[in-house]
Amino acid sequence: GTALAHDHHSGAVTASAEPVKEISVDSLTGPAEGKADVSFTLTAEKKTITLASGRTVEAWTYNGQTPGPELRFKKGQLVEVKLINKDIEEGVTLHWHGLDVPNAEDGVAGATQNAVMPGDTYTYRFVANQVGTFWYHSHQDSQEAVEKGLFGPLVVEPEEGMPPNTKDITVMTHIWDNRGVTIGDNESIQHTKIAPGTPVRLRLINTDDWVRQSYTLLGASFKVAAIDGTELHEPQDLKNVRLDLITGGRYDVTFTMPDTPVTLNVGPGGKLGIVMSPDGQGDLPKHEANLQIFDPTHYGTPAATPFDANSHFDREFTMVLDNQLGFFDGKLALNYTINGKVFPNTPMFMVREGELVKTTIINRGAVEHPMHLHGHHMLVLSRNGEAADGSPWWTDTLDVAPGEVYEVAFAADNPGLWMDHCHNLAHAAAGMTMHLMYE
């Protein structure tokens, strides 16, 4: 097969005695042949939509709605998604956030494909190998695309489907804002009728393009069953705990419906959320007192993983996140840097297929950064020098607060050219973007 270019940027590696294994093109693309088990068509189009608050906004939509339609299928299925761009002059793509698809299906304009221009179509094909809660969004000028509404939920069910009596609710939050100032739709209360005894799964997805969102579930003890799509091992019951979710991240929350109302507040309370009750009635509480913030590091119980903190790592990288005043696009602006550089001057991380990679992420800046690695899931090894001793915690979008230091590890098992960037998309656009590259 044709080899992915592997002789650039790495004098040290070329000098090594070991021959570099050629990467075959088949490992970079989804299955080209065969009838898809499930197919979808998403048409990107501009549309004036009315938010739940009554305000109208000029949105960019998939199929005339934002969030776009939920794509739901089962693990192991061959999925085909046809993207049509009707009238978005800036171009669009589809990126499957958190789903580790082959590189050519990853939907990154300028890296894995060209943006799809008005009148054009593009077909993605891949087999979903993970189960869990994900989302999709355009990855052509992601900041503008996500801000204007080009995103939707994506759920991969187990082969056998969800248990039939589960009430499965996707909660995708997005506050319409204007480059940093929230002016948007943060008033919407949904009422859902649920019979007592019903197992409930809430799939929380934060698609805001810059802000952290908080979620408070009151009226039942609950578990965080999954983080970024991966199930936790023996998660414990939680009560009076607030879940803070970084942009791009997902928590699956499960509980058994009691015979009294359960409420999910999004944000400070009282205005945005879901009321679940046996009769579909009730209000959102306005205040929540004495809530602890959920800490995934020490939650759940240990379980075996393919590698851990004691493994031998073939490569170790350091990623220093910072912000500094500098020139960007010819103007003096706040730059968001990785290892002192702004994209495209950020050096790539080079790996080979089969390697085990450890990365230390250090935030020296003034604001938090949700770091998103495409095509791979990172196992969190430690946070601020303390071992992550709860359930093995896999993430694709890691919330790194100012002053924090995380050690994460991943298996380099998905060849290609991958983005690694802050999912505060304004930061990504202002420099905090880099590539992971297989040689």
Binding partner of residue 422 among Cu ion, ligand C2O, none, CB cut-off 5 to 8 Å per kind: Cu ion
Give the shortest CB-139-to-ligand C2O separation in angstroms: 6
Chain centre to alpha carbon of residue 380: 16
Tokens of 135: 């989302």
Among the listed residues 419, 429, 430, 434, the single contact to ligand C2O using CB under 6 A: 419
Tell me the window of 155-163, 306-314, 330-338, 417-425 that interacts with ligand C2O (CB under 6 A). 417-425
* Strand 369-373 to 397-400 pairing: antiparallel
Q: Give the sheet arrangement for strand 121-127, strand by strand.
A: 56-62, 38-50, 78-85, 121-127
Among 6, 97, 148, 377, binds ligand C2O (CB under 6 A): 97
CB of 6 to Cu ion, least distance (A): 31
Pick one of ligand C2O, Cu ion, none as the site partner of residue 424 (Cβ within 5 to 8 A by kind). Cu ion
- Among residues 46, 120, 39, 124, the alpha carbon closest in space to that of 84 is found at 120
Q: How far apart are the first and last CA of the chain?
A: 15
Across the beta sheet with 262-266, the strand order is: 188-193, 272-277, 262-266, 213-218, 241-245, 292-293
Pairing mode of beta strands 38-50, 78-85 = parallel
**248 is an interface residue for ligand C2O by CB under 6 A:** yes
For ligand C2O, the closer CB: 174 or 374? 374
Nearer Cβ to ligand C2O (97/369): 97
Question: Which CB sits closer to ligand C2O, 255 or 410?
Answer: 410
Phi/psi of residue 429, each to 5°? -70, -25
How many residues does this entry show for the chain?
439
Distance, CA of 361 to CA of 370 (rounded, Å): 11
What does 137 interact with, of Cu ion, ligand C2O, none (CB < 5 to 8 A by kind)? Answer: ligand C2O
Residues in contact with Cu ion by CB under 5 A are 369, 422, 424, 427
Residue (of 397, 229, 376, 215) closest to 306 by Cα position: 376
Distance (Å, whole) CA 418 – CA 428: 14
Residue 240 zone, left/alpha/beta (φ > 0; ψ -120 to 50; rest): left
Q: Indicate whether 139 belongs to the interface with ligand C2O (CB under 6 A).
A: yes
Which of ligand C2O, Cu ion, none has residue 250 at its interface (CB below 5 to 8 Å by kind)?
A: none
Q: Which residues contact 309 (CB under 8 A, 6 or more apart)?
A: 381, 382, 387, 407, 409
Choose the binding region for ligand C2O from 18-26, 117-125, 348-356, 418-426 (rule: CB under 6 A).
418-426
Q: Which does 201 bind (CB under 5 to 8 A by kind): Cu ion, ligand C2O, none?
A: none
Q: Is 358 in the site for ligand C2O (CB under 6 A)?
A: no
137 forms part of the interface with ligand C2O (CB under 6 A)? yes
Q: Which is nearer to Cu ion, 177 or 413 (CB)?
A: 177
| Contacts of residue 397, Cβ cutoff 8 Å, sequence gap at least 6 | 97, 98, 228, 246, 247, 248, 249, 370, 371, 372, 423
> Pick from Cu ion, ligand C2O, none: which does 421 bind, CB < 5 to 8 A by kind?
ligand C2O
Q: Which of 74, 358, 372, 383 lies at the binding interface for ligand C2O (CB under 6 A)?
A: 372
Q: SS3 for 123?
A: strand
Residue 148 is a binding residue for ligand C2O (CB under 6 A): no
Minimum Å gap between C-beta 96 and ligand C2O is: 9
What is the smallest separation between the CB atom of 88 and ligand C2O, expressed in angstroms? Answer: 18
Total of chain residues touching ligand C2O, rule CB under 6 A:
10
**Positive/negative CA dihedral, 422, 423, 429, 433:** positive
CB under 6 A: which stretch of 44-52, 86-94, 163-171, 416-424 binds ligand C2O? 416-424
Is residue 383 part of the contact set for ligand C2O (CB under 6 A)?
no
Residue 125 binds what, of ligand C2O, Cu ion, none (CB under 5 to 8 Å, by partner type)?
none
Computed from CA positions of residues 32, 36, 38, 42, in that sequence, does the dihedral angle turn out positive or negative? positive
Q: Which residues bind ligand C2O (CB under 6 A)?
A: 95, 97, 137, 139, 248, 372, 374, 419, 421, 423
